[in-house]
Amino acid sequence: MDKEIWKEIIGIIPDTELIVIIKNLNIKIKGFRELNAKNISTSKKIVTVQLINNFEKIIKYYNKLNIKPLNSDKQISSEDIRGVGKERLITLYEDGLNLHFIFGALLSSEKTEHHNIAKDFKVLILNKYKKNNLADIEMSNANEPSGNAQNFKVNVKKIEKKLDEYKKKNQAITKELNTLSKKYKEDIRVLTESNNVLKKELKIEKEKSKKSEKKILEINSELLLYNKQLKEAQELLSNTNEVASSIEEAQNLFSEILILGDPQNEITDNLKKKGLNVVNTRDILQISNTDFIKSFREIWILSFLVPAQYKRSIKIEKNQSINDFKDFKVLREELERRMNK
């Protein structure tokens, strides 16, 4: 066993994962009744020594890996990691698989060839990222946006661009509708006045008796034509108002949705400007049984941010629908689906 490389691997395990590993392996750390997020950083050296002393448990842990990288939907086992080349290992890392899983799977193998691949992979990844050790790589990547975050930004920009385009088209259509509406109203006014004039003329002609039956027939024909044009203009104005109403509804794409739990993410922050309503977790109890929450058609609850007792306090009306989101990925996909309708 190469203790130095194992110490380096343990040193790059994120604190939260390290706590889980120690609990799962039932390893006792001297001087600590229980490890948690507050004391793990101060006990790293002791933890490393204890893990090295329980080497067989560590080997067993990495031999039975079955995990899913952050940016992948596929589960990966220790055997999967051992069965790919060094370049593919780089791809797995960039897809979100932590370095300690890759090195742990290789070095826990009984085969020397896998240990050699681990050594070659270390040289390759240090050269690629121009770093002196694995900890520097993890630290530099922790300070850079992940591929997933970059994808979020790209999606946000696309959504913003689409919203701006939609807004410009909306403004142009609204302007055109206003112009048409004014025109049709004026046409209706003129047609109505003409109709009244014709009625008066017809009355006069009738009072003059039947001196000109042909004239009466002509006026009746014109009256029918004006009535038809008046009806068509009124129907067109009604359709125009319906189109304007549809456009206003489209503009308020997110205005009838209330999200309980604020993920504080760029995509939701930008959509707030477009009408999306988001309530912070700490404010849920204040609005849980108010007219404010009753005014929305859809209630979206972010279960990964909202405690169960808060959820139970929320009163939903019969005409409201409720959606429960277990993680941010599902929320993001639903927002994008609504935008792409």
Instruction: Name residue 324's beta-bridge partners.
Output: 301
296, 317 contact by CB (below 8 A): no
Instruction: Name residue 36's beta-bridge partners.
Output: none
Residue 268, token pair as written in the block: 């939701």
State pLDDT tens for residues 282-320.
999 888 888 898 889 999 999 999 998 888 888 888 888
State pLDDT tens for residues 8-34.
999 999 999 999 999 999 988 888 888
Q: In this prediction, what percent of the chain has a pLDDT beyond 70? A: 89
Enumerate residues 6+ apart whose C-beta is below 8 A from 250: 166, 170
289, 313 contact by CB (below 8 A): yes
- CA separation for the pair 17, 269 (Å, rounded): 30
The whole-angstrom distance between residue 137's C-alpha and the CA centroid of its chain comes to: 29
- Measured CA to CA in angstroms, residue 314 lies from 286, 292, 298, 307, 322 at distances of 10, 12, 13, 12, 11
State pLDDT tens for residues 127-144.
999 999 999 998 877 665
305, 263 contact by CB (below 8 A): yes
Residue scoring higher pLDDT (37 or 162): 37
Geometric angle at alpha carbon 151, from 170 and 166, rounded to 5°: 5
